[in-house]
Chain A
Amino acid sequence: MYQTTYHRASSVAEAVKLLADSGDGKFVAGGQTLIPTMKQRLAAPTDLIDLRHISELKGISFSGNEVRIGAGTTHAEVASNAALAGICPAICHLAGHIGDPHVRHMGTIGGSLANNDPAADYPAAVLALGATVHTSKRSIAADDFFAGLFTTALEEDEIITAVSFTAPEKAGYAKFPNPASRYALTGVFVAKRPDGVRVAVTGAGEDGVFRAEALEQALSTSFDPSALNGISLPYDGLLSDIHASAEYRAHLIVVMAKRAVEAANA
């Protein structure tokens, strides 16, 4: 790790100011992505502005069917929140299968979304749920938030403060883990909402998370795994690496979508 200077912010406004005052600073939340990257000397921020002690970023709140998850909420907190499990168990299931217990007790939803790893789990949920990403500057619809591999609509000094969504009628997440990293080799989140079905795919796209329209259409007709029988997706735009070819991923998307629907209907 290169030398860096640590700062602890106690409010969003202070964090923004600390970043502005730094040379080439970066926010750090759970550190589960940023710190390993720094240890490998692939990132070299001059300053680290710690968001973990900002109380306004914490906690999960409800207003009827409206859910708001603070950006600083850890994966373990999402996984174990009983009220959330009552209205959207799929997101709890998703969070409970990220990494290992250490990672889940440190990593945050805000960090995961800001990082937008093409194999991360949360982006699939946020996109399929049609969630809104709230930041220190504005509110961004999920459809406008994800902008390619490790790229989002966020500006350098913009902090995600929360994610909100309306609980879906039904939702399910099925993940086929990469055998080595256990990130998603292909993960599919399906959400049935009054205005239709949304299907988001992570782990498979060359540009990161994406919506699978063909599957959405089929499932809007009948929200049943059998609705996806016989569908085969084109390979172009899909990732190909030592763990899975584009062809295999195209196949897995359909299989995982069926399993996600099955989970949603269970």
Chain B
Amino acid sequence: MGIEGIGARVTRKEDRRFVTGLGRYVDDMVLPGMKHAVFVRSPHAHAKIAGIRTDQARAMPGIIAVLTGPELKADGIGNLICGWMIHSKDGTPMRMGAWSPLAVDRVRYVGEAVAVVVAETRGQARDAAEKVEVDYEELPAVTDAVEALKPGAPQLHPEAEGNLIFDWELGDAKAVDEALASAAHVTRMRIVNNRLIPNAMEPRAALGHYDRAEDHFTLWTTSQNPHVARLVMSAFYNVAPENKLRVIAPDVGGGFGSKIYIYPEEIVCLWASKRTGVPVKWTADRTESFMCDAHGRDHVSEVALGFDADHRMVALKVDTIANLGAYMSLFSSCVPTYLYATLLSGQYVIPAIHCNVRTVYTNTAPVDAYRGAGRPEATYLIERTVETAARELGISPAKLRRRNFIREFPYQTPVILNYDTGDYEASLEAALKAADYAGFPARREEAKRRGKLRGIGMSCYIEACGLAPSQAVGSLGAGVGLWESAEVRVNMAGTIEVLTGSHSHGQGHETTFAQVVADRLGVPIEQVSIIHGDTDKVQMGMGTYGSRSGAVGLSAVVKALDKVEAKAKRIAAHLLEADESDITIENGEVKVAGTDRSLPWAQVALAAYTAHNLPTGMEPGLKESAFYDPANFTFPAGCHIAEVEVDPETGHTTVVQFVAADDFGNIINPMIVEGQVHGGVAQGIGQALLEGCRYDPASGQLITASYMDYTMPRAADLPSFAVATTNTPCPNNPLGIKGCGEAGAIGSPPAIINAITDAIGTNDLSMPATPQAVWEAIRRQGH
């Protein structure tokens, strides 16, 4: 490793612009003649639209246009879609209700867009939006997925009788039932995974520009995957064909999944720009973010985990109801199915697993992938159940896990996935040691003397990321392939541009990707620029989510680098009159190994472009591209240990220690990886202790629609984290990396809840474990 190469703690190149306020976000973009859009949104959770009157609004000062759903439909703009087909166990396809970017005759959640006002200023647009008169005929609403399945519940979509989207299963039900019937012990739990609101620091925004001269659209948008946005907009929404639509996602301030999807607002901004002839910009305010960004999680599950007399797991049965909200968002169907049930084997040998999932429409915001996406739900379920089982069986939680760990690889689980490699014992050991697990009883005693209940809990998680082999996901219903593309462009004087289809919205690609190039070609990272987020610049891409940028995006870069390196060596061999196999590249020099003959890197680059003296038949230039399609998922895994103190008088929990021992395979920049773990754990602790999206069950109003009521984790809620890594390189990609973006959010929630339940002596506790919830759990035991 060089000082800037793979493995180095290089300071992030992009941070100078971020911390000095020089980042360029969508809302910073200003085009000549640009106007401002404000959406009229439904105040009701469920209502018929009897009519919309816009004349008063149109008469307000500064108004360019007031547009509604029927006009959008008349112009042929299509409905929003979910791009992953899931079939119910009876073979019928999922039942997708129509979702128009602007509601036409019915609204199904509070905040649904009904009309758009375009005005000279945002203030004028807001004033006029208040004057748009919508005649709503209110309908009864249902926000809870379990309630929505009951007979007599309000019905959302004619396409989905009983609000059921699909009733899907994975695994062998019969084998599971038989194994449970003869099991020596069965642990049963009802597990609720609380609904979350993503809260990226930068709210969503869109700027649409229609160029009449070229009949061409440009969209600046807060997207994690601009090429996918372009594909979906042209293929399904009839905005424009791909060659007439440029999508740019500039600096994006966090996504966590919520910026993967296509939302109504960006489609409407493009369409409105063509309608009005001016560029149209919309930026969400925080209330709109709460109401309209895709939410995460929201599962209710019944679990049964059976053991034989030796405490070995024999079968796992899971029955889950997943709330998908009022409409099916872009990837909503795969989250509670293939990103969830396939992970239910955890780190354990479980011979038989069966999972049934019913997805349900409710009068709430759409639900889709949120950091971890399905894998936190699986991990929380299995790790709480295992911990509970250890308590019921009277053996230590570490021992029960050890007894059941998978130890031989590759390992074929009963739920599709084939784990390539791992060492679960190693991360458990590392975490136990870092947490001084053995010293816990003394710490508990000491806390008791201070009147505090101290508890310790662990979670051994696994995730599948690096999404994903295209053929595999295609066979499971995905509408797209999940490769990545890269181009490495060596400029004439030797500086390098890497064009990647991955998108950085906080992850630090401008640094880590440059480190890989620096490592390979021996140039300083300052001479390497990473270009992403623009469909006119970058050849193709599938974007960033599912911890895929390292494992998939960088693998494509490596493939392109292979080609660049090979060509550079051929040129150098020709110029130095040496054998190609003797050429090495080091510290900016292209050398003949074992001699003092060398050429500076820049001179080789220049030779490629002057083309005065190239090997016979070689094309000029030094620029190569590659597509990479992974052979398998990658399987990061690890062990998280949390230690908490509960104030029994108030129920308040303090996290006093948090250890994360993660196996991410090879690591490019440990500082950035630690940052990802810190952020992920903060979000996981947020889910476990603080965050919970709440709708009023009667009215369907979003109660947690601001930071006054939705509790985000603050620095003071978190301890200093102890982060350790173990390393079993991934055998399936050239750099041996596994992905680290989601692990923190996946592994931490069960560790926290297991610690609290250990402290208070009951397994009867749900997330978020707010002071009131913990106080009530203590009281239920009659303490």
Where the two chains meet, the residues of A that have a C-beta atom closer than 8 Å to any C-beta of B are 1-3, 40-41, 176, 179-181, 242-245, 248, 251-252, 255
Contact = CB atoms under 8 A, between A and B. Distances in A.
A245 B690 CA distance: 17
Contacts of A255: 649-650
Contacts of A251: 775
A180 B772 contact: no
Nearest to A254: B649
A232 to B, nearest CB: 12
A244 B709 CA distance: 12
B772 A245 contact: yes
A117 to B, nearest CB: 11
Given A179-B690, A180-B707, A180-B711, 9 more contacts: A1-B123, A40-B287, A41-B126, A176-B652, A176-B771, A180-B708, A181-B708, A243-B709, A248-B776
Contacts of A41: 126, 130
B703 interface: yes
A252 B287 CA distance: 31
Contact of B770 (A1, A2, A243): A243
A179 B770 contact: yes
Contacts of B771: 176, 179
A248 B772 contact: yes
A45 B575 CA distance: 79
Contacts of B650: 176, 252, 255
B775 A242 contact: no
A264 to B, nearest CB: 18
A243 B772 contact: yes
Which of A41, A179, A252 counts the most chain B CB atoms within 10 A? Answer: A179
A181 B775 contact: no
B704 interface: yes
Contacts of B707: 180-181
A248 B709 contact: no
B613 to A, nearest CB: 65
A255 B775 CA distance: 12
A244 B772 contact: yes
Contacts of A176: 650, 652, 771
A176 B772 CA distance: 11
B450 to A, nearest CB: 14
Interface in B690-709: 690, 694, 703-704, 707-709
B710 interface: yes
B703 A242 contact: yes
Contacts of B704: 180, 242
A242 B709 contact: yes
Contacts of A244: 772
Contacts of B690: 179-180
Interface string B106-133: 0000000000000000010011001000
Interface in B742-783: 770-772, 775-776
Contacts of B712: 180
A242 B708 contact: no
Contacts of B772: 243-245, 248
The 10 lowest CB-CB distance pairs between A and B, nearest first, are A180-B711, A181-B708, A179-B711, A255-B649, A248-B772, A180-B709, A242-B694, A244-B772, A242-B703, A179-B690
A3 B708 CA distance: 25
23 contacts: A1-B123, A40-B287, A41-B126, A41-B130, A176-B650, A179-B690, A179-B771, A180-B704, A180-B707, A180-B709, A180-B710, A181-B707, A181-B708, A181-B709, A242-B694, A242-B703, A242-B709, A243-B709, A243-B770, A243-B772, A248-B775, A248-B776, A252-B650
B126 to A, nearest CB: 8
A93 B320 CA distance: 49
A181 B690 CA distance: 12
A244 B772 CA distance: 6
A245 B773 CA distance: 10
Contacts of A181: 707-709
Nearest to B773: A248
Nearest to B708: A181
A1 B123 CA distance: 8
Interface string B708-722: 111110000000000
A266 to B, nearest CB: 16
A199 B133 CA distance: 50
A181 B771 CA distance: 14
A255 B649 CA distance: 7
A2 B694 CA distance: 30
Interface in B641-659: 649-650, 652
Contacts of B127: 2
B718 to A, nearest CB: 14
Nearest to A251: B775
A166 B712 CA distance: 40
B129 to A, nearest CB: 11
A251 B694 CA distance: 24
Contacts of A242: 694, 703-704, 709
B121 to A, nearest CB: 11
Contacts of B123: 1, 3
B623 to A, nearest CB: 50
Contacts of B287: 40
A144 to B, nearest CB: 30
A251 B772 CA distance: 11
